[in-house]
Amino acid sequence: AVAAPAVAAAAVAATAPSSRVPAQACHELLTAEMLSPLLLHLANHFVTDKSRPEMVAIGLNTTREVCARVPLAMDATLLADLIEYRKDRDKAVVAAARSLLQLFRDRMPALLHKKYRGKGCDLGEKPDAYGALQVATGVEGAELLSAREARLAAAGKLRRDEDGGPAGEGDTDDGSEEE
């Protein structure tokens, strides 16, 4: 009787690090069709009533991590089934199910049933489509730097080097670095 909890703990420990691998391998260039079988596999083999509560929590957390990277992989029926684990008696399972619910409240509330959406949700919010990348067009906060340089130049405190740019903090007037 003593060996059974030790074997179960070893199984959880052996499964926990490997459960992060599918989630870490997901990125925005994977299609939802490629990840749907993975989510079904997680739900069928980890998140079942016959599984131990530790395994259910691992399956729900892995599902949440995969969906955090590619939320379009989840379908409404599977999500409704997974969210029902909020009423489980194990605290880890309840926390994992609630975190999955909160993820979809933020990312795709249209997949949730009306009573799970919460107040003030934006039903039009949808994650970026497959392959859509957000490309930066500039540096955020660059206008603050130019405004500071203009203030310092107006006060006469801004030193310029021979290229016309602001001198570095370690620069001296003769061009050699201070030590």
Average pLDDT of the residues in 131-155: 82
pTM above 0.85, yes or no: no
Q: Which of 25-29, 35-39, 83-87, 130-134 has the highest mean pLDDT?
A: 83-87
- Residue 71: which of 99, 108, 44 has the closest Cα? 108
| Amino acid in the structure at residue 50 | K
Beta carbons within 8 Å of 38's beta carbon, 6+ residues apart: 22, 66, 73
Q: Quick one: pLDDT band at residue 136, thresholds 50, 70, 90?
A: confident
Least confident of 8-12, 34-38, 102-106, 118-122: 8-12
Could you tell me the end-to-end alpha-carbon distance of the chain, in angstroms, rounded to an integer?
69
Binning pLDDT at 50, 70 and 90, where does residue 7 land? very low
Residue 119 structure tokens? 């107040």
Q: Which residues lie across from 173 on neighbouring strands?
A: none
Q: Which two tokens stand for residue 6?
A: 């030790």
Q: Which residues partner with 171 through β-bridges? A: 177
